[in-house]
Chains A and B, each alone.
Chain A
Amino acid sequence: KCPLVVSRTFWGKNIKCVCFYRNALLEADINKLGFSSPAARKTGTTICGVVYKDGVVLGADTRATEGMVVADKNCSKIHYISPNIYCCGAGTAADTEMTTQIISSNLELHSLSTGRLPRVTTANRMLKQMLFRYQGYIGAALVLGGVDCNGPHLYSIYPHGSTDKLPYVTMGSGSLAAMAVFEDRYRPNMEEEEAKRLVRDAIAAGIFNDLGSGSNIDLCVITKGKVDYLRPHDMANKKGVRTGSYRYKHGTTGVLTKAVTPLNLEVVEESVQTMDTS
């Protein structure tokens, strides 16, 4: 008999794996009936970030997939953490959304407590400690970027809780395509326009070469004291406009004969039911 709640003690804290066995049993039942259980919505995605002269540029595509179907053609993957810190999320959409919201909330409380603008390294630590606590079961791969009192910073955070601090990072299923663009054209201390063009091209590489990424390109340019949230920055996949109409003109089909037959109906019962508008 499978236990409903699996309680594991790790790092002195309990993580309750409540749903494992229940979900496995449900899956088996559904499969017996011939259906497949609904796929979790993932952002099979391309996200990237680059540090340039004055700050950080973050970029993301806008496709969210549920299995092989596009669930959202224009979803927002660049999440707000604090006025000077933003975070792109790849992996399970719910996990990235909720994780960034939780850390954003905690960081705001922390910032009120310290009386200072929050630092990117604080957000990094909070995220990595939370993700490590859940041992990779929270499928959130993040690109965290921002500008604080110590300058611009960029981190990539993996679902198991490891982080890397680098001048340019890519994550998601399209990360290999985006990294190819970065490795070719990245230079330290770029100007803002060049950095934006580089990130745009990297995301475009992911969009056009990876099935899990698509639609538009969102950009977020963070500098000291200013954030440009460009959504959309580039509509790379605008829906085409139909060039012709397939409707037939009136009179295309000629009428040969016309016969009118009235139907004799008598009213049997008539009842009025008033709508409850209270």
Chain B
Amino acid sequence: MLQLCLTVHTFFNLAVITFFYFSRKSASFYTSIMAVEFEGGVVIGADSRTTTGAYIANRVTDKLTPIHERIFCCRSGSAADTQAIADAVTYQLGFHSIELDEAPLVQTAASLFREMCYRYREELMAGIIVAGWDPRRGGQVYTVPVGGMMTRQPVSVGGSGSSYIYGYVDSNYRAGMSKEECLKFTAEALTLAMERDGSSGGVVRLAVVSEQGVERQVILGNQLPKFSTV
């Protein structure tokens, strides 16, 4: 149905010679995002590139969106879709948290994302990783890819750049890493993805979510870890 409407729309536009460069492309995060659990919290990371077609619309995007005090989501896919979903879930979770009078569970946030992504799966293009800390189960990572599945994983990668680092992540992840090791692991994995994926780039944004709160950091382009000089 969506395809049919789009075809008719472009047919209707035949006589319009457009000078508007971004006419049929929406802003997207074909991106690299990642989240890792550790004892006491989670480390999340993302690149910072938003593209409309071949033009980089925003080279310093923040794809790590706070949903609640200690729950974040990493967004990939269509920028408009993920921003709208994140705003909706932020509102719903805030309301739920006030009703409960306590901090919401990360699983609740992930369920809200899953509910929305599955119900409107035909219209949306959104791949989201929900990660955070709650008092009941500690640090958790839930992945809600395109289509609306939800599953909990100790480490999760997403976006177009993730294809290039599955091998790296599978071979280098060990259970029981410390916070610093997780940060280094995430930064290196995202650097490798950004190196090979054209739709990922810019800076690496990292965040550590734990009982103490949120610490954010940015690794600029010239400070990224170096691998080969080929």
Chain A residues in contact with chain B, CB under 8 A?
Answer: 6, 8, 10-11, 17, 20-21, 23-24, 27, 36-40, 42, 44, 65, 67-68, 90-91, 125, 128-129, 131-132, 135-137, 139, 141, 156, 158-164, 166, 172-173, 175-176, 210-212
Chain B residues in contact with chain A, CB under 8 A?
Answer: 1, 5, 8-9, 11-12, 14-23, 26-27, 50, 52, 55, 57-58, 60-61, 78-80, 83-84, 87, 120, 123
- A39-B15, A39-B17, A158-B22 in contact; A163/B83 too (CB < 8 A)? yes
| A173 with B19: CB separation less than 8 A | yes
B123: chain A residues at CB < 8 Å are 10, 135
**Residue on B with the closest CB to A90?**
B20
Distance, CA A159 to CA B80, complexed state (A): 9
**Residue on A with the closest CB to B122?**
A10
A23: chain B residues at CB < 8 Å are 12
Q: In angstroms, how far is the closest chain A Cβ from the Cβ of B206?
A: 20
Q: In angstroms, how far is the closest chain A Cβ from the Cβ of B106?
A: 25
| A164 with B18: CB separation less than 8 A | no
Distance, CA A125 to CA B27, complexed state (A): 17
| B79 with A158: CB separation less than 8 A | yes
B19: chain A residues at CB < 8 Å are 42, 44, 65, 173, 210-212
A38: chain B residues at CB < 8 Å are 15
Can you pick out 26 interface pairs between chain A and chain B where the beta carbons lie within 8 Å of each other? A11-B120, A23-B12, A27-B14, A37-B15, A38-B15, A67-B17, A90-B20, A128-B83, A132-B83, A136-B80, A158-B52, A160-B27, A161-B80, A161-B83, A161-B84, A162-B27, A162-B50, A162-B78, A162-B80, A163-B83, A164-B50, A164-B61, A166-B58, A166-B60, A173-B20, A212-B20
A91: chain B residues at CB < 8 Å are 20
A158: chain B residues at CB < 8 Å are 22, 26-27, 52, 57, 79-80
**Residue on A with the closest CB to B26?**
A160
Distance, CA A164 to CA B18, complexed state (A): 24
| A20 with B12: CB separation less than 8 A | yes
Closest 9 CB pairs of A and B: A44-B19, A212-B19, A162-B79, A160-B80, A160-B26, A162-B80, A161-B80, A173-B19, A164-B58
| B27 with A8: CB separation less than 8 A | no
Distance, CA A6 to CA B8, complexed state (A): 12
Distance, CA A11 to CA B60, complexed state (A): 29
| B57 with A164: CB separation less than 8 A | yes
| A42 with B58: CB separation less than 8 A | no
A10: chain B residues at CB < 8 Å are 120, 123
Distance, CA A159 to CA B78, complexed state (A): 12
**Residue on B with the closest CB to A2?**
B8
Q: In angstroms, how far is the closest chain B Cβ from the Cβ of A153?
A: 15
Distance, CA A90 to CA B52, complexed state (A): 15
Distance, CA A158 to CA B53, complexed state (A): 13
A44: chain B residues at CB < 8 Å are 18-20
B21: chain A residues at CB < 8 Å are 172-173, 175-176
| A20 with B22: CB separation less than 8 A | no
B5: chain A residues at CB < 8 Å are 6, 8, 17, 20
Distance, CA A132 to CA B26, complexed state (A): 11
Q: In angstroms, how far is the closest chain B Cβ from the Cβ of A40?
A: 5
Distance, CA A36 to CA B80, complexed state (A): 34
| B80 with A139: CB separation less than 8 A | no
- A158-B52, A160-B27, A164-B57 in contact; A132/B9 too (CB < 8 A)? no
A68: chain B residues at CB < 8 Å are 17
| A36 with B79: CB separation less than 8 A | no
Q: In angstroms, how far is the closest chain A Cβ from the Cβ of B15?
A: 5
Q: Which of A40, A132, A156, A176 contacts B55 (CB 8 A)?
A: A176
Q: In angstroms, how far is the closest chain A Cβ from the Cβ of B66?
A: 14
A27: chain B residues at CB < 8 Å are 11-12, 14-15
Q: In angstroms, how far is the closest chain B Cβ from the Cβ of A238?
A: 23
B60: chain A residues at CB < 8 Å are 166
| B8 with A21: CB separation less than 8 A | yes
Q: In angstroms, how far is the closest chain A Cβ from the Cβ of B134?
A: 28
Q: Which one of A21, A24, A38 has the greatest number of beta carbons of chain B within 10 Å?
A: A24
**Residue on B with the closest CB to A212?**
B19
B57: chain A residues at CB < 8 Å are 156, 158, 164
| B83 with A162: CB separation less than 8 A | yes
A8: chain B residues at CB < 8 Å are 1, 5
Q: In angstroms, how far is the closest chain B Cβ from the Cβ of A211?
A: 6
**Residue on A with the closest CB to B28?**
A162
A156: chain B residues at CB < 8 Å are 57-58
Q: In angstroms, how far is the closest chain B Cβ from the Cβ of A116?
A: 21
| A42 with B27: CB separation less than 8 A | no
Distance, CA A125 to CA B90, complexed state (A): 14
